[in-house]
Amino acid sequence: MRYANALSEKDTQELDQLYANIKAKTATVLGYPVAMDFDYSELYRFLQFPVNNIGDPFIESTYGISTRAMEAEVLDFFARLYRAEQGGWWGYITNGGSEGNMYGLYLARELYPKAMVYYSESTHYSVQKNLHLLDMPSIAIRTKENGEIDYEDLHDTIRMNRNMPVIVFANIGTTMTEARDDIRKIKSIFKDLAIHHYYIHADAALTGGYCSYTDPCPAFDFEDGIDSLSVSGHKFIGSPIPCGIVLVKKSHRDRIANSVAYIGTVDTTITGSRNGITPLFLWYAIKRYGLEGFKLRTERCLQVAAYAVEAFNKIGLAAWRNEQAITVVFAEIPKALCLKWQLASDNGRTHIICMPGITEERIDLLVQDILLTASHSKEETFNLIIKQK
Ligand SMILES: *Cc1c(COP(=O)(O)O)cnc(C)c1O
């Protein structure tokens, strides 16, 4: 590096401290959906280059340092997995599930500028911000106890606004309980109310990473009737850099394609520059796991989730999970424990997510901590847990 100095001793120390901190924190994650079993060291050499997949992944740009071919392969893998019509889909690798959700809503708005958006009250917090940015009117629908959309409330609410086109933002795995809205049931509501102008987006951020491999498999994909789908790459698949995949029906994307002379391609994505490294991670994961490997990884996570439900119930902490879900829900536990195990809480409930890389041993450590809190006062427990680290 010309003109650059070696790091000072202090700066080096700061880096080393950060490394140690991150490593330690990684060993006590239980509440956030990030896979921890990846090893992309074979790809580190690509970090030497200013890789950038700017513009449409399927149209060459005049900027040549890109991983477009790999990006297209990744998209093809997921288009097949989510049963998109051959030749009838389009997509790109995003910066995460939220961007893909925003993209789906953007296309929906271009298609139906006067539509009403319906989403359940268990929807991810980022969606309201996106609706605000896109200036789309929306109505929140009640959820059932397990976090799934209340179909009756959806039916009644759409009926009251039946003069407007309908956009449903469906959850395929809610953030808190991993509940899945049933696309076929939603479509039957449209049929019942004779709604012909509608658009369904599936937010499959976490669950989309694995639910195709489960039996039963939720009704969530293109064959079931969606128009677009977003899934996170750094959740179930695993990536050191946040990323995601958005897939849409090709006809929707064609409505917004504008050619841009400066980059020599079509500006069909939300951002300008796009990450060219994350498609490489996803490509590598697909090549190494294949369908069979992803399936085995899924089974392993479901096994750990079943183990966790049993382990919590055995010590008197009522725990449950949705069918074929890797998220285990239970009543909020003491704050010190939530801090240590990085558990998100909402409305008196909390959860752990049995992601790839989480083992029964980690569940056992949490169970031990819970038992410990049961036999001490709040104050004592806090000190105990914090000191233990
Ligand atoms: C994580 C999550 C998101 C956001 O995805 P990011 O990849 O973090 O942008 C959206 N919806 C649901 C249901 C999620 O679990």
* DSSP per-residue string spanning 4-58: PPPPPHHHHHHHHHHHHHHHHHHTT--SS--------GGGGGGGGS--B--S-TT
Quick: pLDDT tens for 25-78.
999 999 999 999 999 999 999 999 999 999 999 988 899 999 999 999 999 999
Cα 12 from Cα 188, distance rounded (Å): 61
Quote the ligand 1 centre to 51 CA distance (angstroms).
25
Q: Closest ligand 1 atom, CA of 234?
A: 7
Cα 83 from Cα 20, distance rounded (Å): 43
Is there an atom of ligand 1 within 6 Å of 97 CB?
A: yes
Atom 6 of ligand 1: nearest residue by CA position: 97
CATH class of 42-287: alpha beta
Candidates 98, 220, 322: which one to mutate for ligand 1, based on the most atoms within 8 Å of Cβ? 98
Determine the angle formed by the axes of helices 278-314 and 68-81, rounding to 10 degrees: 40
Candidates 124, 271, 278, 282: which one to mutate for ligand 1, based on the most atoms within 8 Å of Cβ? 124
pLDDT of 254 reads: 86
Cα 201 from Cα 108, distance rounded (Å): 8
DSSP letters spanning 158-225:
HHHTTTS-EEEEEEBS-TTT--B--HHHHHHHHHHTT--SEEEEEE-TTGGGTGGGSSS--S-STTTT
Which residues contact residue 214 at a Cβ distance below 8 angstroms, ignoring those fewer than 6 apart?
298, 302, 324
CA nearest to 206, candidates 184, 182, 183, 174: 174
Is there an atom of ligand 1 within 6 Å of 178 CB?
A: no
CA dihedral 317, 318, 322, 325 (to 10 degrees): 10
Residue ranges of the domains in the chain? 9-37+291-376, 42-287
Candidates 175, 210, 211, 322: which one to mutate for ligand 1, based on the most atoms within 8 Å of Cβ? 175
pLDDT bucket at 389, cuts 50 / 70 / 90: very low
pTM of the model: 0.94
Superfamily of domain 9-37+291-376: Aspartate Aminotransferase, domain 1 (3.90.1150.10)
Quote the ligand 1 centre to 155 CA distance (angstroms).
26
Q: Closest ligand 1 atom, CA of 98?
A: 9
Quote the ligand 1 centre to 97 CA distance (angstroms).
5
Quick: pLDDT tens for 239-261.
999 999 999 999 998 887 765 66
pLDDT of 255 reads: 82
- pLDDT > 70 fraction of the chain, expressed in percent and rounded: 95
DSSP letters spanning 66-110:
--HHHHHHHHHHHHHHTTPPTTSEEEEEESSHHHHHHHHHHHHHH
